[in-house]
Structure 1
Amino acid sequence: MIASTESSFARFWAIVLVLSYSLMFFAMGSRNLALAPILVFLGMVLSGRHRLRVYQLLVVGALVAVLWPIPLVLRNQASHGLFPYVTALPSADLGSDLWLASINNVLSGFNIVGTTAFVRPQISASDMATSISLLGGSEAGWYEVASRLRLNHYTPYGAIGEIANQGIWVAVVSFCVLGVIFGFVQRVGRKLSDSAGGQVYYLVPLGLSILLVLQATQYNLRSEMRLLYYALGAAVIGLVVHATHSALARRSEGRSVRLKSVLGETLDERG
């Protein structure tokens, strides 16, 4: 009964959290709104309590298709925010032109990457160092560099294009390193999944890694590197927490064994 209550309590707050984030993305007119069904589905799969079914994939796909063009409609409103968007949504035109614009909004990332990699002049080593720096924007000098790493006022370079702009071998080595980092995150996730509550720790680096991949064609390298550093940091923290819990559990078990041994010897002496 207690376990059932705890499960219901956790499920309730999970639903509240998902709805809160979805509402926030809606109020911001963010395309992350369309990611909410995907992340919920991933959470269900990773929990190990739900079997993967075809109809679930179809439902998630339909929800993503419906939610994807909505931010474009919201951004074109005269007033912005939660209540203006709620008021404007019923009368919004979700015709075929909007769907085509939404598709183009996604596919334009390939053009951004190609232009960044093969049309624009080579990015200097100092600018690349600023993009991958762990330091904050002011400390790294990012605000002096940012204007040079854009196609125009509205469009930044794509992260994949920035890497490819440095040459084929730099791109090969960079993506190999990225693969090693993703592999590390996955190994940490497998280790954490074996412990109680470990899936929660794993969702953070996993979600950040997925977001990095989704944004890599349209967002600049510095933005993507922040996500990578956060994902790596979250994985390391999760690993440390897991190791700490394991060490405490072993110590507690050792104390229990020693206590039983002492009690046994005491009883033998009295006997």
Structure 2
Amino acid sequence: MIVILFFLFLLVGMLYWKRKIFLLSPVDVFLLFFIGVLVSTVLYHNFYPRHEKFNFFQFDFIGNNKFNRTFLVYIKMLLLFLIGVFLYSSFNKSYFNVAKQRIKIINVQNIKLNTNQISIALFAIAIVCIVLVYIDYGSLLFYRVEYIPKDNSIFKIIYQNLFIVLCLLSGTLYRQNRSLALAAFFIAMTVGIGVGSRSATIYLVAFGLSYSVFLNYKRAKRFFVFFIPFVIVFFGYNISLRLESNTHGLIPYLKATVSKPEILFKYTIMNIYYTFIFGFYATSETIHLYKNASIRNLVTTLNPLPGRLTNWYAIASKLRINEIAPYTAIGELARYPLFSIFYYSVLGYYFAAVDFFIKTQVLHKKYFWAVLQFLVLALYVVHSFEYNLRSSHRFIYYSMALYVLYFILKRVKIKMPLKTNSSNFQKQ
């Protein structure tokens, strides 16, 4: 393991010596997410008090040998992925030239904001949201017995989306009209907390992202160093409110915050556990239980056809740890040692190819396809940690389909002007 760890550190060092971290980079997301997984899991496994472990489904209490075997699976995965990235860079010499650039997604110097119009829009949206929330909740926003007072309110979807827009505009306007921006943001957060949904965290993220766009590189970097941990803590607090309070609404939630300050720590750790740690133990259990790993199962899980056209429904119930937790993609692939070498190397190659595509698109101010590709591959990363191989790998097929569609539309777009020009020439 020491030799493999050495080569992993060497390749990671070589990679980031040649490139800058980029917000929309699937390669960065894959590497940083799983490095975060390993660091978090090692700290939790070795230093978190045994009697306070969350131990979902009794997965946490594994011996050192089992832990080390699972840890080695993740190290090999990262190493093979990096080999695939370097393999792509050897075929595409422009890859590291682009990766070295500090790419700004939005160049704010070229954006001229009409602060008066933004202020008017902000004020108008805030008034509309307040009216809709009052119609939906009224005084129940502050105190209610049931978590959801009404069934499927049509207004909820409207004002939740409007609040996201409100927070984006607030972050944009913050430097020009701080008092209005903070007032609008405060309204959104008050409603988000009072409702008790996770939307308050989304509002916080929307405000932070729009605010950060207008910072220079160094200030943005410092901002995210503090903002990301704060979001993690706040999300833990956000989900704790409705679980720790017997009644609901802004007043009971604030009372719970004062009377039970420990919930802030408890649910923040639980959030980190479920996001970065639980999947490691689920992978360990998958490797232990998946005895019937066969080529037929592998072909079925990687088959792009719908489940009813494959053997999927015949084997799906067998590819589970229990009724709630499925086998993880990483655990399934660990049962195919030779194939996993090929799979993760190709995966690294493909992620690097899409990484290059996204960066070139952003450099040319074309964001639509870049953002779509990033979101799809980010979903693959998250799903592969806790969900089965079939559910995870479909996002690779979605990404490939987007790739193909992009080039088809690009070719059609090129041919249409050519045909138009030739017809005009014939008329002349």
TM-score if structure 1 supplies the norm length? 0.66
Could you tell me which residue of structure 1 aligns to residue 394 of structure 2?
226
Q: Is the 8 A contact 1:159 1:220 kept in 2?
A: yes
Written as runs of structure 1 = structure 2, the 5 A alignment for 1:151-230 is: 151-167=321-337, 169-196=338-365, 198-230=366-398
**Distance of aligned partners of 1:142 and 1:119 in 2 relative to their CA distance in 1, 3 Å threshold:** closer
TM-superposed CA distance for 1:226, in Å, is 1.6
Aligned length: 240
CA 1:51–1:240: 2 relative to 1, 3 Å: farther
Tell me which residue corresponds to 1:110.
280
User: Any gaps of 5 or more consecutive residues in structure 2?
Assistant: 1-110, 123-159, 168-187
Aligned with 2:386: secondary structure? coil
User: Partner of 2:325: helix, strand, or coil?
Assistant: coil
Relative to structure 2, which stretch is displaced further, 176-185 or 231-240?
231-240
Deviation of 1:151 after TM superposition, in Å, equals: 0.9
C-alpha spacing 1:112/1:244, structure 2 compared with 1 (3 Å): same
Q: Distance in 2 between matches of 1:163 and 1:227?
A: 16
Aligned residue for 1:215, secondary structure, equals helix
Q: Structure 1 residues 5 and 66, CA, compared in 2 at 3 Å: closer, same or farther?
A: closer
Equivalent AA in structure 2 for residue 37 of structure 1: V
Q: CA deviation at 1:65?
A: 3.2
Is residue 146 from structure 1 mapped to residue 316 from structure 2 by the alignment? yes
> C-alpha root-mean-square deviation of aligned residues, in Å?
4.6
> What does residue range 1-271 of structure 1 map to in structure 2 within 5 Å?
16=161, 19=164, 37=205, 41=209, 51-52=216-217, 53-57=220-224, 58-68=226-236, 70-71=238-239, 91=256, 94-106=263-275, 107-167=277-337, 169-196=338-365, 198-248=366-416, 251=418
CA 1:171–1:17: 2 relative to 1, 3 Å: farther
Q: Would you say the 8 A contact 2:320–2:326 is kept in 1? A: yes
Q: Percent identity?
A: 17
CA contact (8 A) 2:236 2:264 kept: no
Name the stretch that deviates more: 49-58 or 132-141.
Answer: 49-58
DSSP 3-state at the match of 1:217: helix
Tell me how far 1:149 sits from its aligned partner. 0.7
The one-letter code sitting in structure 1 at the alignment partner of 2:356 is R
SS of the residue aligned with 1:237? helix
Deviation by residue 1:2-44 (Cα, 9 ceiling, x = unmatched): x9689x89x99xx958928x99xx99x789x679939x859x8
Q: 1:98 to 1:50 in 2, by over 3 A?
A: closer
Structure 1: distance between partners of 2:264 and 2:333: 37
Give distance in 2, aligned partners of 1:154 and 1:253.
58
Pair 182,88 (structure 1): closer, same or farther in 2 beyond 3 Å: farther
On the 8 A contact 1:205/1:232 being kept in 2, the answer is no
Letter in 2 for 1:99: T
Given the superposition, is the C-alpha separation of residues 237 and 89 from structure 1 closer, same or farther in structure 2, using an over 3 Å criterion?
Answer: farther
Instruction: Measure, in 1, the Cα distance between the counterparts of 2:205 and 2:163.
Output: 9
1-structure distance, mates of 2:368, 2:222 = 26
Partner amino acid, structure 1, of 2:304: L
**Cα pair distance change 1:252/1:138, threshold 3 Å:** closer
Structure showing greater relative contact order (alpha-carbon pairs closer than 8 Å, 6 or more residues apart)? 2
The answer on whether the counterparts of 2:237 and 2:268 sit within 8 Å (CA) in structure 1 is yes
